[in-house]
Structure formats: C-alpha cells, structure tokens
C-alpha cells in the first residue's frame, strides 16, 4: 500500500482551517447568547386612579351666603315674613332659596330631588299647602311675584300638601345643578287655604317643617 506524505504547507493550512472553525464556533456561541437575551423583554405601564368630589350648597338669604346645611339638626331657616307667625285663612308667604354646586368640590353635575316636608304632629302643618317655583329672582320671590318662574311643586291654582316632593322617581330628578356652580333660585310659597276649617286648627298653633334637597353626582 502506498502512503501519502502530507507536505508541511498542507498541514499548516489544515491547522489554520481548524482554528478558523473553532474561532467561528466561539463567535457563533457569543452570537447565540445575545440572540437568546432578546427573547426576554418587558414594557411597564402605570395607571393612577381617583374619584372626584362634589357638594351642593344652599343660601336662604339670611345674610350668611352659601352654606353646607347638611345636618337636619342645623338646617337653613327660610326667611319668611312676619305674617308667617300670624297666618289667617287665605294668606300666602314666600321665601327664597338658592342652590349651587360647591365651586371647590365640583367634579360633577348634581341631580337633585326635593323630598317632601316632614314635621312633628301639627294640625296647622296638616292644613298648610305649598308651591315651589324655579328661576324666580330673589327680590321677586320676596315680593310674591312668581311670574318669571316655572312650577316645580304644585302651582298657583293647585298648591299641594307640604309632604309632596319633586324628582323622587329614580332617573327623573327635579332638576340638575351644573358643575360650573351656576346658581338656581327657587321660591317657596306657603298658603293657609281660604277654605280651611279653622275649628280644626287650635288658636296659636305652630308648625316647623323640614324639607331636604337630596343630590347625587352625575357621572
């Protein structure tokens, strides 16, 4: 058998090729490591959440301006004329009330309902009737001029019992106060009907009636 001698030049060339392959393997190995790292990546996002705030205020025009009046034990007192303390059949007295969304807590509009009046046992309150009008200027209300307003509860021709409310059906508020704090002026008109049987109302009878404007935010 004939043996073939490998020349020194060919042997050196073969060694260079082996080194190149090994070197290439190292390069490929590094390349594979970098590529695998790219399979792991993250994107982070964050959301900040909060609820808004709202509050309604009332002004009964007693000189103190808009107040909270959110405690039934410390309500705003209607500024009724003196005749309210000495009513006779056929008399009507008027008192203004203004409402708004608090300018400092006005994230939302406010749907408002007027809940019917409540009172301790009183034969006088049982006989009294009332109406409420919206959009009556304060001075006009104090003068008994309701011509600029719109009836909210009852009407001039048909005043209703003091326990009658407005906007008490869910989804049908009496009115909505905008969150830009626009003021809504209302006028309460309370009447002792001319037809009342005064024998049913003892002399010097009194009545203290409490109404509530209940509100919820409009999202």
pLDDT tens string 113-172: 999 999 999 999 999 999 999 999 999 999 999 999 999 999 989 999 999 999 988 778
**Distance between CA atoms of residues 103 and 186, nearest Å:** 19
CA distances from 43 to 33, 46, 49, 119 (A): 22, 10, 20, 63
Q: What is the pTM (predicted TM-score) of this model?
A: 0.78
Would the pLDDT of 175 be above 70? yes
What is the length of the chain?
219
Would the pLDDT of 55 be above 50? yes
User: For position 78, what pLDDT does the model report?
Assistant: 94
pLDDT tens string 68-86: 999 999 999 999 998 999 9
CA distances from 125 to 68, 129, 145, 202, 209 (A): 26, 8, 24, 12, 8
Higher pLDDT, 5 or 91: 91
CB 87 within 8 A of CB 81: no
What percent of the chain has pLDDT above 70?
81
In terms of Cβ atoms closer than 10 Å to its own Cβ (0-12, 13-18, 19+), residue 102 is: middle
Mean pLDDT across the chain:
84
Would the pLDDT of 24 be above 60? no
**Distance between CA atoms of residues 106 and 63, nearest Å:** 24
Would the pLDDT of 9 be above 90? no
Q: Is 17 helix (H, G, I), strand (E, B) or coil?
A: helix
User: For position 35, what pLDDT does the model report?
Assistant: 46
Would the pLDDT of 189 be above 60? yes
User: For position 13, what pLDDT does the model report?
Assistant: 57
**Distance between CA atoms of residues 108 and 135, nearest Å:** 21
Torsion sign (Cα): 61, 65, 69, 75: negative
pLDDT tens string 192-219: 999 999 888 998 999 999 999 999 999 7
User: For position 181, what pLDDT does the model report?
Assistant: 97
**Distance between CA atoms of residues 162 and 109, nearest Å:** 27
User: For position 27, what pLDDT does the model report?
Assistant: 40
The beta strand positions in 18-149, using DSSP E, are 54-59, 92-106, 109-119, 129-134
Query: For residue 188, what is the enclosing H or E element?
Result: strand 184-191
**Distance between CA atoms of residues 76 and 96, nearest Å:** 11
Q: What is the mean pLDDT of residues 160-185?
A: 93
Residues 6+ apart with CB under 8 A from 103: 181
Would the pLDDT of 12 be above 50? yes
Alpha helices in 56-152 (DSSP H): 123-127, 138-142
């Amino acid at each position: 058998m004939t043996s073939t001698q490998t020349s020194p030049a060919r042997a050196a060339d073969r060694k260079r090729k082996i080194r190149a392959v090994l070197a290439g393997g190292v390069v490929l190995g590094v390349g594979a490591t970098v590529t695998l790292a790219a399979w792991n990546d993250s994107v982070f996002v964050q959301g900040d959440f909060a609820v808004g705030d709202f509050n309604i205020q009332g002004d009964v025009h007693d000189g103190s301006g808009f107040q909270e009046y959110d405690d039934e034990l410390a309500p705003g007192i209607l500024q009724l004329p003196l005749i309210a303390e000495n009513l006779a059949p056929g008399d009507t007295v008027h008192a203004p009330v203004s409402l708004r969304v608090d300018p400092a807590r006005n994230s939302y509009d406010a749907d408002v309902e007027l809940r019917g009046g409540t009172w301790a046992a009183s034969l006088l309150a049982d006989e009294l009737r009332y109406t409420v009008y919206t959009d009556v200027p304060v001075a006009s209300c104090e003068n008994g001029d309701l011509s600029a307003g719109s009836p909210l509860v009852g009407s001039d021709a048909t005043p209703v019992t003091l326990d009658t409310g407005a906007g008490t059906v869910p989804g049908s508020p009496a009115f909505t106060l905008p969150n830009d704090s626009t003021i809504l002026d209302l006028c309460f008109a309370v009447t002792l009907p001319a037809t009342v049987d005064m024998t049913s109302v003892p002399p010097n009878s009194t009545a203290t009636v409490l109404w509530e404007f209940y509100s919820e935010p409009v999202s």
